[in-house]
Structure 1
């Protein structure tokens, strides 16, 4: 029997990744195509055509020299929350509004009032209302609002669907399988896609997509999900207390729990797990890897290997970054404070600080923000065990060591860092019958390749620095509230 393969696609913030996954769940080849992010104050956008062209280019590259008849299915994950209005002809009416975009503050306040839950400007419904209020002609012409993975699935099949986790960012009620009353009252529900479960097969690729991608027409399209959620599959989160830190542009920390934790202020977020009977509690940091990229562009762009040099210089800076404290919320804060006006801060800068101190300060600041999330989860009754490391950040051993010592948790380094792509592969293999259950697929595919334990001396020292970090963070929160 010929070996079968699956295409995994991740429409991320910095670029599109495509991987070829074999039927044993191993990524045998992967390609990344980057695209531009357009930032103007609170507004953060991307071109949906860039998403599609990058997907086409990456698939063609990853398939070079490979038998196209061996590809059985494709599964797409994507960044979220995203708002992309398309017209009745299926063409985008504007750039996509990304999850980092914070323009819809007024509209988020309205949703908080009508829903009774803390809404954030990053979410879908506030952004849709912003378009309604500020671009009424565009809103009138809109036939549907899609997210990143929805749009790629549409280009693949011509069908407008989403998955129930992506729909959550539009306030979808997974338990009841319906949109809440206020979405209907606002007359938005008819502009949102049909909701499917991740792992459903929505059809085969269209003739046009087949020609563009160089694939056979019988390739099945499997519904994926939000990139970070899909990454929990690729991280092998199966049992209560299992946790994973997914660090790319941003950071998400997920923990498996049996109990559904409800928090109207959204300091802790909880959703049903892919596996029935379990839940995923989580917290998010808007900018982590994005800060490393920012510093590279600012101070390391002339180096031949900028990320390597940055990490080496950070490692040579002493713990505590020579008194520098970095609050890493450069694009607003998410959990636990949900403040779109929060800004980053470097406190304690002197003329003696070097760029390596700033680099270490960023690594430490992101780790302190992660500890802040861990502490809030545990205060809410969510026990956090060993943390599995995924995403591009997991390839930085120094950063993983810092996180282990600052959070006081053992970090488990996985055999495949691209856990979102692996999660897409798992969904595709499950959907096409290669595994009877997601649990079976995860147990078979995901492996721990290394262990990073906390350094006890650093834990004690960083406990003191964390108190300074927290005092600085609380001062910044108070300053924002008093000025607002």
Structure 2
């Protein structure tokens, strides 16, 4: 049997095929655009997701010579929090408002003021953040009343693809955890939140565990994709929970660090747990348990901006080579990686990307290395909170595009002061989605069993003791920088 994992990311969709022995049979991907119509807004056209997903599946099946009748099931990994709204005819009412969109500051304040933070935590396990889905719905209600009244179905990004594949309105509890509408502890929709939002519960998709079957491919879709037989579709997961499955982050003590478009520190829990200060997200895990997660909105995207915008025309490898020549600490240059505001630990949509400590002796290499170090310091902020709430950390696994850089991995190990392990695959969410598909189809009894077959540790990067000591001192300076600039960030939002 063959299982497909669809990873609907922020800038591209990837489709991966695996078999029951843990072999990767092939992959295909397609890119699409993110639109920024206003400062701090981020949108995409859901139809772009659908068209490119279909093309990627067809390419995968063709170039990998996958028999049309051997695909047994499909799973998902999806960018979280995005709002997709359909009318009664299933037409998309407006562009999808994405996870990194920051327009909903007022709506977050309204939600928090209405419930109070303690009650909100009791209801949904998290604080109201601009990236979450519920504030987006309120924004539409306030600013696009005529469109709000036409909403009949609310979906998350990957669940729009599910709908197009199967005709079913469904989601999974890991992805739904980031909507601010889910009673995370009890894995069900929060009636109080639904009533406050002024939406009908029927507008929300049916909830499933990530490995449960939600439907089957329609006949029309199978014909278009060149598939035959009964093809199951499982719940899938939000990108980070799926990525955790794809790295084997399924037991307590294991932490996954993602150096992707956003940065994530993800710790698995057997039992429900909430940080009393709401600095971390408390979400359902895709293995039927729970996890804590810290998220920085700009991680590898900071390096992408630095290379493609600030240094347009420069060679990527040349810039990284210059960074490798820069000394630890970048000759006093510090970069705050808040290009899209920030979520953990500050939850401040007004925060801005900032270089500090520049002088006449600062080089481009210093600034490039400062970007790498600044992102690593931001990730360490989440790691420190996990330690504060007594989370056992026995293993750290790094994934994402940034983890391919040996320099960045060494910086990460030194700033964390812990070994960073490398696994035999960097497929992350796509592999996690395929594993969930295999479990849903009954090929594996448990997610843990599947992870053991697919994922192996193949190497590690150890921290250098002297570097750890020096970075500990610099991190203290880094953490003071935000507090020093917080008022300025708020003032600059009005410029």
State the TM-score, normalizing by the size of structure 1.
Answer: 0.94
Change (3 A) 1:219 1:284: same
Contact 1:150 1:161 in 2 (8 A): yes
1:207 Cα deviation (Å)? 2.3
Alignment pair present for 1:269 and 2:281: yes
**Runs of 5+ in structure 2 lacking a partner?**
121-126
Change (3 A) 1:238 1:185: closer
Change (3 A) 1:355 1:217: farther
Q: For 2:272 and 2:70, how far apart are their aligned partners in 1? A: 42
Q: Which residue of 2 aligns with 1:298?
A: 309
CA offsets 1:251-270 (integer angstroms, 9 cap, x no match)? 11111234543235421223
Equivalences for residues 472-483 of structure 1 within 5 A: 472-480=481-489
Q: Which residue of 2 aligns with 1:41?
A: 39
Name the SS of the counterpart of 2:376 in structure 1: helix
Q: Which residue of 2 aligns with 1:231?
A: 243
Name the SS of the counterpart of 1:29 in structure 2: strand
Bigger Cα displacement from structure 2, 452-461 vs 379-388: 379-388
Contact 1:76 1:152 in 2 (8 A): no
Q: For 1:264 and 1:206, how far apart are their aligned partners in 2? A: 45
1:465 Cα deviation (Å)? 1.5
Alignment pair present for 1:102 and 2:102: yes
Q: Which residue of 2 aligns with 1:13?
A: 10
Alignment pair present for 1:279 and 2:290: yes
1:309 Cα deviation (Å)? 2.5
Match of 2:193 among 162, 182, 185: 182
Change (3 A) 1:25 1:476: farther
Q: Which residue of 1 aligns with 2:124?
A: none
Contact 2:8 2:76 in 1 (8 A): yes
Contact 1:132 1:139 in 2 (8 A): yes
Change (3 A) 1:73 1:307: farther
Equivalences for residues 118-157 of structure 1 within 5 A: 118-157=127-166
CA offsets 1:48-93 (integer angstroms, 9 cap, x no match)? 1111111011111111133222211111111011001111111211
Q: Which residue of 2 aligns with 1:255?
A: 267
Match of 1:314 among 313, 323, 327: 323
Contact 2:256 2:399 in 1 (8 A): yes
Q: For 1:216 and 1:410, how far apart are their aligned partners in 2? A: 46
Contact 1:332 1:341 in 2 (8 A): yes
Equivalences for residues 410-421 of structure 1 within 5 A: 410-421=419-430
Q: For 2:286 and 2:85, how far apart are their aligned partners in 1? A: 28
Bigger Cα displacement from structure 2, 8-17 vs 114-123: 114-123
CA offsets 1:118-156 (integer angstroms, 9 cap, x no match)? 211111111001001101111112211211111000010
Q: For 2:492 and 2:10, how far apart are their aligned partners in 1? A: 31
Bigger Cα displacement from structure 2, 264-273 vs 374-383: 264-273
Q: For 1:137 and 1:351, how far apart are their aligned partners in 2? A: 55
Q: Which residue of 2 aligns with 1:459?
A: 468
Q: For 1:19 and 1:205, how far apart are their aligned partners in 2? A: 17
Change (3 A) 1:239 1:198: closer
1:301 Cα deviation (Å)? 4.2
Contact 2:172 2:207 in 1 (8 A): yes
Q: Which residue of 2 aligns with 1:23?
A: 20
CA offsets 1:314-333 (integer angstroms, 9 cap, x no match)? 11211111221000011111
Change (3 A) 1:49 1:323: same
1:187 Cα deviation (Å)? 2.7
Change (3 A) 1:268 1:53: same
Q: CA RMSD in A?
A: 1.8
Name the SS of the counterpart of 1:114 in structure 2: helix
1:299 Cα deviation (Å)? 4.5
Bigger Cα displacement from structure 2, 40-49 vs 205-214: 205-214
Q: For 2:354 and 2:58, how far apart are their aligned partners in 1? A: 43
Q: Which residue of 2 aligns with 1:240?
A: 252
Alignment pair present for 1:52 and 2:50: yes
**Runs of 5+ in structure 1 lacking a partner?**
none
Bigger Cα displacement from structure 2, 314-323 vs 419-428: 314-323
Alignment pair present for 1:173 and 2:183: yes
Bigger Cα displacement from structure 2, 123-132 vs 183-192: 183-192
1:272 Cα deviation (Å)? 4.0
State the TM-score, normalizing by the size of structure 2.
Answer: 0.92
1:480 Cα deviation (Å)? 3.9
Name the SS of the counterpart of 2:327 in structure 1: coil
